[in-house]
Amino acid sequence: MALPLEGRSAIVTGAGRGLGRAEALELARLGAAVVVNDYGQPGRDGTGEASAAPAEQVAAEIRAAGGTALAHTGDIADAEQARALVDLAVREFGALDVLVNNAGILRDRMVFSMTEEEWDSVVRVHLKGHFTTTRLAAAHWRERSKATGAPVYGRIVNTSSEAFLAGSAGQPNYAAAKGGIVGLTTSTALALAKYGVTANAICPRARTRMTEDVFAGLARPDTGLDPLAPEHVAPLVGYLASPAAARVNGQLLVVHGGMVAVMERPRVAVQFDSKQETFTYDELDALLTPHYAGRPVGETFAATEVLGLRRERSGTA
């Protein structure tokens, strides 16, 4: 029986550790040839011995398990290095079929204390880093589709965050970038659907090197898989990259701890119409002030309830 991604090729950014590593391993397990991207050069291990770059370590892990993988250590937020990444996949594997955008950094601080560099660096790596690879992959698929006159196989899986959904107070740069990624995803999904390409975004919750401070207060279980293990997220990425997910497009899904939640698109809660040609201040005051007076104190557009999502276990142990 053929594997779901047999004969396909994939790129995973930020795949040297954590979520990206788990995702790259899962795609390879499902049969894909993978380009493992992670910005970082060879270093030294705990004994002082030379060690391979994280991307090469994961690529070697995939090859050792019988898969096909290459490493790329460029900065995906740099347009030319992103182009080299996509060109590598196309040159070595004949085409690109799957793009998983995962690379990111954190520079957490309250908005009144955040520096311009802390804002720019996070938006650059997350939002621009998603755009650079998406633009190149989209052009590749469009050209292939035009050459054949038929849809092609293309999958994009982007990485947003519950920080965008719930409005993380200490992460204005990160929440803004992750919200931008959702906008990029839905726009891309509509633009590329006619070429046979899907684009979806996930909001993963996982304990990684990047989030170790965020989840420092949550203890690891003594037995069993950590609910915050990246391995809970990787299967969803594998599914979204597969032929089975052909009808899943422009969607946002929350995933962690054995649970997947499909988020509903924003809907209009109420509409107010002016009785004149246009609104006046007094008319708006008469309509909006009592409306919000009846809403819960502290309620905003943020969906804080997503932070309470947990796997619901059924039956008895």
Residue 215 dihedral angles phi and psi, to the nearest 5°: -105, 20
3-state secondary structure of 43: strand
Report how far residue 312's alpha carbon sits from residue 309's, in angstroms, rounded to the nearest whole number: 9
The Cβ-side half-sphere exposure at 85, using a 13 Å CA radius, reads 36
CA distances 276 to 99, 177, 207, 249, 273, Å, are 51, 39, 55, 41, 9
- Could you tell me how many residues make up the chain? 317
Report how far residue 35's alpha carbon sits from residue 72's, in angstroms, rounded to the nearest whole number: 7
Which tokens go with 36?
């493992």
Torsion, Cα of 168, 173, 176, 182 (10° steps): -100
Q: Which residues, in sequence order, are bridge partners of residue 157?
A: 100, 200
CA distances 34 to 7, 8, 25, 60, 63, Å, are 11, 9, 9, 11, 10
Q: Which residues, in sequence order, are bridge partners of residue 202?
A: 159, 253
Contact 207, 229 (CB under 8 A): yes
Report how far residue 1's alpha carbon sits from residue 189's, in angstroms, rounded to the nearest whole number: 31
Contact 79, 132 (CB under 8 A): yes
Catalytic residues: 161, 174, 178
